[in-house]
Amino acid sequence: MSLRTKIITIIVVFVVFFALGVYPIMASRYKLPAPQWLMAHQLKLGLDLKGGVHLVLQVQTDDALNVETEQEMSRVQQELKTRGVPATATLVDVSHFKVDGVPPAQDQAFRQAATLEAPNFDRSSGVNGSYTFSMKPNIVVQLREDAVTQARQTIERRVNELGVTEPSIAQQGANQILVQLPGVTDVDRAKEIIGSPGMLALTLVEQGPAATKEDLLRATGGQVPSDMEVLSGGPDVAAGPGAAASFYLVRRVPAVTGHDLRSARPELDENNQPAVGFTLNRNGAAAFSRVTGENVGRHLAIVLDKIVQSAPRIENRINDQGRINGSFTQEEAQNLALILRSGALPAKLNYLEERTIGPSLGADSIKSGVLASAIGLISITVFMLIYYRLSGVNAIVALVFNLVILVGLMAYVGAVMTLPGIAGFVLTMGIGVDSNVLIFERIKEELEAQHGVRASINAGFSRVFWTLVDTHTAALISAAFLFQFGTGPIRGFAVTLFFGLVSNLFTSIFVSKTLFEMELSQRKVAALSI
Amino acid sequence: MHIFKNTNFDFLKYRWPAIAVSWIIILAGVFAIWTKGIPKGVEFAGGTVVITQFDQGVSVQQVRAALDKTFPGGDTVVQSYGDPQQHQVMVRVPTTGQESGSSLSKTQDQIKAALTQASLGNFKVVGSEIVGPIVGQELTRKGLLATFVSLFFILAYLAARFQLSFGVGAVVATIHDLLITLAFLAFFRYDLSLNVIAAILTMTGYSTNDTIVIFDRIRENLRAMRRDNLDHVINVSINQTLGRTVITSGTALLTALALFFFGGEVLHGFAFTMVVGIITGTYSSVFIAAAIVSFWRGSGPARAAAHAPGSAAASLPPAASRSKQRKARAS
């Protein structure tokens, strides 16, 4: 490569990375003209610099297993009843249930029922006609994975409805979800909207409301029939504040669920109280109009997350419209409509971590990061100029190139600058200039051995090359594991370190050497200022 | 300009005192950790941190007094935070074991309520961090794993590029640096936080740098000085590279110090770890790493160690001829 080509290469690289990284930052700060696409690619700031909310949630995947186990168990129970087998099924844990009391004569019928209705379970027999059903391991894995994926998708829909710009929702580990909401300051609302199960069910009331469970179950002889369940209602709104909680006996399988919703919106009810109106999709409407048509005069429970919100009397057949009344505030009604629109979560979510960074705190961090960078750069420049004199200029030019390329690379790949990332930026200066120090020291050695300026420079670069490859490789190895270990800010740091090291190899060897060659080509150099 | 010119220190002679000093620091660190424990940041220990900004200045004592009723016992940390002009106070309450699900932010609400009740003037929460007890355990495990796996890969890389003994020397020196840094973190009671772990991992990469430079020179000199014994070659190599070892660490130290003094509250622990790591990294490169190579190989004639693989230039380093004269003086 001729010197001319090298210089052109360096200028092109510099201009490209400057335009990608540094220029958009200057443009947004000093209102310089810049094309839209360039500004859209601007280096992104992390949550710790921009301010916002960072949440870590754990998906209780056991819930998803439990649902599946309960479903198959109740189907088996139903099938046994149809076939006239007098056996009872009971839940053992989230992925096991057992069936007791299968008469030996009806073993065949039981086996057929079980194979038909519990395909996802392995069956093992015990004594006296008892059987244990365990969920197949691959199904367990599948259900858990699906639950996490679905939860992530549901959260994505909810966050999008919230209208947050550039949110980040990512799975982390086996069952955790990391949610980052830049610019959000109302943590409580965000948490409620993300974490609400949002399970809507419309189901017929069989008994109730009653003030206590005992009252409720008097008609059924104190037992809960196997296809029904007892749900509590919030305090009755009509009875005024302070009224006691009430209990309802409802069908376990609801007529309509949140899956059948087409839309939900906040509205006002006949008493001008905030409520949530909903419209069902075609499937839901068909089921709903059949159930309401057949049960005029009875009560329909509107159940949200296993709590009966209200249980109005069915006056006539309803097609696809309904309304949830409760003692909502306007904001609650809005939130609920949003949650219902985005669908139910497949399992309960557990908050593990919450971090809020106010915008002022982020701005302070940027300020001190910039200050530390400036002071770091100035002190390195002063040292290099004193110690290496004119060659120090060479090293500083290479270092500035290094930093410009680093920022440009980060913007180009869409990496995020975090506060530890700024630390990585500052350290890149201190570590980056080391490559030049090693080269210069070697050149000094060669000069002392009377090898002539040109030969010394060439030897300095070529001898140190492999040392630099080795030191950079070791540092890259730890940066790679840092990336793999960390999340959020730490990843930002690892990325900064990584790109800093890679661009340093280019600037310390190629740029710095070309600068020396430029100097040598100008005139005959007898002594090097180093 | 030169800081060191033609030095001729017998570094290997000081390896025993050096190792003794290191052990004393490490054992003191172990003692400090054993008796007082390693203070863990909220990411690791779990708990609640709330940073509040008051409209007018309040003293740490006032805030502490306000919180004493709600959080009795001495475990609550109250510190002024950031720029004193901004009247910011950080409150940290250790984990109650309840920081999950719907009760995640209960402690935060209690802190806010207690501060409101104490009528210390208007305040707002500018930042908070709540971590449940589960997260920490996982992080500790992952942090340790990442450190050891990256050490292993560095060992493998150096063993391939140099020789096994060199890889072992570099990695032992790095482990030494990790232990010394942990000891200093314990002495100065810095919280073990994610940032500190990041700094420690960065250090594992960086502290091998000086070691590699020295090893490179040893390898180069071994080819030129076949008749000399290994210990002598090591000493000569360390002396020849002493200037650059000190300068490269110095520039890195300059930036780490800039971070320490100007980088703000959040990066304090990070910067401290880097400062200690850079200093001990330099020390171990000079006194520990090569000493390990010497132990490993025995100080037999250099010839045995000379056929080190590697693609570095095979020619003589310019100073080799000089060092021969020095050897004559030394013996």
Which three-class secondary structure state does DSSP give residue B4? Answer: coil
Per-residue confidence in pLDDT tens, chain B, 331 aa: 677 777 888 888 888 899 999 999 999 999 999 998 888 888 888 888 999 999 888 888 888 888 888 888 778 888 888 888 888 999 998 887 777 666 778 888 888 888 888 888 888 888 888 887 766 677 778 888 888 899 999 999 999 999 899 999 999 999 999 999 999 999 999 988 888 888 888 888 888 999 999 999 999 998 888 888 888 999 999 999 999 999 999 999 999 999 999 998 889 999 999 999 999 999 999 999 988 988 888 755 554 444 444 444 444 455 444 444 444 333 3
At A249, is the secondary structure helix, strand, or coil?
strand
CB within 8 Å: A438 and B255: no
CB contact (8 A) between residue B251 and residue A462: no
The CATH number for B11-39+136-330, chosen from 1.20.1640.10, 1.10.260.40, 1.10.760.10, 3.20.20.80, is 1.20.1640.10
Verify whether the Cβ–Cβ distance A356 to B128 is below 8 Å. yes
Instruction: Tell me how many degrees the CA angle B158-B161-B166 measures, rounded to the nearest 5.
Output: 45
Cβ of B318 and A449 within 8 Å? yes
Pick the CATH number of B47-131 from 3.30.420.10, 3.30.70.3400, 3.60.40.10, 3.40.30.160: 3.30.70.3400
Integer CA distances (angstroms), A232 to A216, A239, B137, in order: 11, 16, 38
The whole-angstrom distance between A467's CA and the closest CA on chain B is: 6
400-419 in chain A: CB under 8 A from chain B: 419
Instruction: Give the residue on A whose Cα is nearest the Cα of B171.
Output: A474
Question: What DSSP designation does B317 have?
Answer: P
CA A370 from centre of chain: 29
Contacts of A429 in chain B (CB under 8 A): 251, 255
The pair of structure tokens assigned to B39 is 């203070």
Give residue B159's pLDDT. 92
- Which candidate from A427, A480, A485 shows the least CB-CB separation from B142? A485
Mutate to test the interface with A, among B201, B321, B322 (most CBs of A within 10 A): B201
Closest alpha carbon to A384 in A417, A433, A445, A325: A433
Angle, in degrees to the nearest 10, between helices A453-485 and B133-161: 150
Q: Does A172 touch chain B (CB under 8 A)?
A: no
> CA torsion, points A71, A77, A78, A81, in degrees to nearest 10?
180
Contact across the interface for A360 and B134, Cβ inside 8 Å? no
Nearest residue of chain B to residue A462 (CA atoms): B313
- C-alpha B140 chain-centroid distance: 16
Q: Would strands B88-94 and B77-81 be described as parallel, antiparallel, or unpaired?
A: antiparallel
Q: Does residue A396 sit at the B interface (CB-CB below 8 Å)?
A: no
pLDDT value for B330: 38
Does A173 lie at the interface with B, CB-CB under 8 angstroms? yes
Does residue A344 contact residue A200 with C-beta atoms inside 8 Å? Answer: yes
Q: Print burial letters for B145-171: b (CB count within 10 Å at least 16), e (below 16).
A: ebbebbbebbbebbbebbbebbbbbbb
From the list B195, B201, B216, the residue facing A485 with the nearest CB is B201
Q: Would an 8 Å CB–CB cutoff place A368 in contact with chain B?
A: yes
- Pick the closest to residue B287 from B96, B93, B25 (CA basis): B25
All residues of chain B having their beta carbon less than 8 Å from the beta carbon of residue A191 are 104-105
Kindly report the nearest CA distance between residue B49 and chain A, in angstroms.
9
User: Could you tell me if A382 lies within 8 Å of chain B, comparing CB atoms?
Assistant: no
Given this model, what pLDDT does residue B311 score? 41
Please give the residue of chain A at the shortest CA–CA distance from B156: A474
Q: List Cβ<8 Å contacts ≥24 apart for A399-403.
A: A399/A429, A399/A432, A399/A433, A399/A436, A399/A507, A401/A10, A401/A14, A401/A503, A401/A507, A401/A511, A402/A428, A402/A432, A402/A500, A402/A503, A402/A504, A402/A507, A402/A508, A403/A428, A403/A429, A403/A432
Profile chain A (530 residues) by mean pLDDT over runs of 10 residues: 91 94 89 86 87 90 87 85 85 89 86 86 86 91 90 88 83 87 84 83 82 77 77 60 70 80 85 86 85 85 82 80 81 84 83 88 91 95 93 93 94 88 89 92 90 90 92 91 78 87 92 91 76
Q: CA-to-CA distance for A191 and A195, rounded, in angstroms?
A: 6
In this prediction the pTM is: 0.79
Taking the domains of chain B in order of start, what are their residue ranges?
11-39+136-330, 47-131
Chain B: residue nearest A188 by CA?
Answer: B105
Structure tokens at A77: 């129970």
Ordered structural domains, chain A, with CATH: 3-50+360-522 (1.20.1640.10), 61-137 (3.30.1240.20), 199-328 (3.30.1360.200)
Q: Does A361 touch chain B (CB under 8 A)?
A: yes
Write down the pLDDT at residue B313: 41
* B11-39+136-330 matches B47-131 in fold: no
Closest CA to B77 of B88, B86, B64, B87: B64
Contact present, A263 and A293 (Cβ < 8 Å): no
* C-alpha dihedral sign at B4, B7, B11, B14: negative
Cβ of residue A39 closer than 8 Å to a chain B Cβ: no
How many whole angstroms separate alpha carbon A115 and alpha carbon A118?
6
Q: How far is A293 from B156, CA to CA, in rounded Å?
A: 75
Q: Which two tokens stand for residue A9?
A: 């290469």
- Interchain pair B264, A369: CB under 8 A: yes
